[in-house]
Structure 1
Amino acid sequence: MNEIRRVAAVAATLSTAVLVAGSMPAWGQDEEKTLGWSKNAELSLVATSGNAESETFSLKASFVRTMERSTLALSAAGLRAESTTTSRVAIGPPPFTVRETSVTVPTAENYALRGRYDHLVSETFFWHAGLTWERNEFAGFTKRLTGIGGVGNLWWDREGSRFRTDYSLTWTSQDDLVANAALADGFLGVRFSYDYWRRLTATTELSSILIADQRLDASADWRADFTNSLSISISDRLALKVGLQALYDNLPALGLAPIVDATGAPTGGTVPFELEKLDTIFTTALVVDF
């Protein structure tokens, strides 16, 4: 509950910043497009060693092809965190020999591949289609494949500011680690999303993206992906980026809890339970433009 309140407070603060920034008048004429490919990579690494050992690594690569009235965007992302626990026992009479045993286990791991094509029909209206593959066993699924198609509005795209909204139909195929007999693996849904970007200063940019999905055959099954980030350029090709992503699933996948007896010994049986509805990912990354 405290985590939900904390994330809600951060999300509200960032949303307020987005709305305030969006209400400010945009400056300049429409930004001239740079046609062709643009590429960047985001790299984050945190490692500790010694008495405590852990490592968190994330990488995201993005490729965007800009044409006169169309855009093709491709991306690949991955995150893995692991920690090492060391136990020690003393053997023999004095002087004792201390024996160490180390066990390394993953504590977070997810991967995603995304592709999307947008085509402007007019200056403010476009259609789009895309495909996303995700894997997140800690959230309870080994594969989530989502195809999208729909239309959207480009409310403005000026120098230093851009805002658009999408309205889509989706088809999702999901393989859970623990099957839920009450829900089908494949289902139709609807999606609403917005994408807001603003240059706050000559070296600072704000980005806010919301993706909300509703499953059509189960009203309780809806998801939201809310990502906010702030990047600061340190050169023409390098930037530091801070981001917070909140992933909410109102009907999360199932896990299995082992059944133990009164002494704590396992009985061999298991009982299903719902995983947590909210996951948050806070990242600091180095961004490299190619």
Structure 2
Amino acid sequence: MSLAIPPAARDALERWLSHLASVQGRSPATVTAYGADVSRWLDFLARHRGEGYGLAALVQVAQTDIRSWMAAERAAGLSSRSLARRLTAVKTFTDWLAEREGGDATVVLSARSPRYRRTLPRPLAEDAARAMLNEVAYHPEEWIAARDQAVVTLLYGCGLRISEALGLDADALPLPEVLRIRGKGGKERLIPTLPITREAVARYARLCPWDLSEGPLFRGAKGGRLGSAQVARTVAEARRRLGLPASATPHAFRHSFATHLLDKGGDLRTIQTLLGHASLSSTQTYTSVDAARLMDVYSRAHPRA
């Protein structure tokens, strides 16, 4: 089904997406997701009202429009979590548009997101994380085994997102004691690197058959930039051999980095900085993980009458 978005609204959407990518430095995946979310909202407005609309109408939306849209999305089977994300995209777009076109966007910006239960991160136990660091180095080609081990060591040793690790270029060699990472929104952060991490990356660099004087640091079998899907497959194969749950994904190493730091007395502000979280509330999720684990131990070990 084609989307019934008026030309002026479509043009505004394209300008906003360009702004997200070029000015705010949002990732291509984020820009694509936001574009899809807001497109559905603009299409709904056109069909709901039964007529075209100008940009002013996108800013000064009635509460009934918002409620009808959210009800329609839920009726279509959208989860509360996905609807909350979609509403965030609509709010961000409307706020940007109001700054340029004028008007009062209070109704949209004050719309309440549906409540949903946040999924807690599922980190690996320390012994499982160590086992995975060795198990991923399973490939018969020595340089590929070293590459996979270096990538996972970076994820666990520095708490990187998979996109951040695979986005490193060869000019990061030799890996410094403090690594500069450009994360979400183009924000930079500095992360100390452990000797074991630097050694793993150096070993991979020595064995890699491709020229690492320039271009991507981590290479695929044909010399191009290593993709996240290949890393996911490598980690999945390793966890199956070790009998670990499906939650043991590449991203679980980032969760493990944060949780194990917290276990060893790391403070939330420092962990927030290392992870590159814009809000402390994102980092505080790890205190919930710690509390959940404590309650699990308590429920299993506490004497009962």
Q: TM-score range by the shorter chain?
A: under 0.3
Structure holding more strand per residue: 1
Structure holding more helix per residue: 2
TM-score normalised per structure 1: 0.24
Of the two structures, which has the highest relative contact order with CA contacts closer than 8 Å and spacing of 6 or more? 2
TM-score normalised per structure 2: 0.23
